[in-house]
Amino acid sequence: MRQPIFRGVATALITPTTKDGVDFPALEKLINWQIEEGINALVICGTTGENSTLTDAEHRAVLEFAIKVADHRIPMIAGTGSNDTSYAISLTRYACELGYDGVLVVTPYYNKTTQKGLVAMFTAIADASTIPVILYNVPSRTGVNIEPATYAKLADHPMIAGIKEANGNISKIVETASLVKGKLDLYSGNDDQIVPLMAVGGLGVISVLSNIAPRQTVELCNRFFAGDLVGAMQLQSKFLPLINSLFCEVNPIPVRAACAAMGYCENYLRLPLVTMDEGKRQIMLQQMRDLGLVLKEDA
């Protein structure tokens, strides 16, 4: 039986940048801290990693650098999705060559497609991959939703292993789980739905929250796995205000501000993203303090 790429929490890691380019020392610091805090896996160059504004050379350099720093300590997943299928295939092959444990492939955005097109696109990428593929469904960002019946058609592909589901519709997620019959590992793509999604068979979360609270997010999942549903839900509820702040503006604007406040990077974003509204940032920072997260200015 195929083993999951990971169980628990994979951080959808930010890509620290400055006006001069990718901040590799900051990236190394973040990766090491995440692993020291007990994270279960890392996703490199996903949406939170601002892959859409990385050049091809930067994207490949970040993938290469990150896997060298991780040095086989945890599973590593490369964000290789694109609305250009041939480019997604090229990045996927590169991630395979680097030794990644899996790839995360988002639905096509802007040009979009039909459900038939999704099957054709994901099949073409999976055919080119020698490592497991996680399908990423985030219709709020792409304008495309993967329907449960489409997941069922893709579930028999030997290289398609999982789903990062961020459609927010628990009923559709239950339908998907019933149709794929355990052939695809299910992960939450929404930090505010970690416990609900695990309750319908999910194995964990690909998380934005864990950029700043990796140990606590892992603890949430571990409580659930240990059968402590009340304890898991208490943590879900405890962190909900901060989760809401992390998404009060377009991701990764708030999480970059949060990471900067903790001293892990500069609060620098590439256009069209701009820095967080100061009033909202102050609310978020106070929520972080209330949860025991240490800010650089308070240390």
- Where in the sequence numbering do the catalytic residues fall? 136, 164
Beta bridge partners of 207: 11
Cα–Cα distance for residue pair 172/149, rounded to 1 Å:
10
Within 10 A of 79 (CB to CB), how many other CB atoms are there?
29
Of the CA atoms within 13 Å of residue 43, those in its CB half-sphere come to 31
Cα–Cα distance for residue pair 128/276, rounded to 1 Å:
39
170, 193 contact by CB (below 8 A): yes
159, 133 contact by CB (below 8 A): yes
Cα–Cα distance for residue pair 83/108, rounded to 1 Å:
4
Q: Residue 174: what are its φ and ψ, rounded to 5°?
A: -60, -40
Gyration radius of the chain's alpha carbons: 18
Cα–Cα distance for residue pair 134/12, rounded to 1 Å:
13
CA-nearest of 89, 104, 102 to 132 is 102
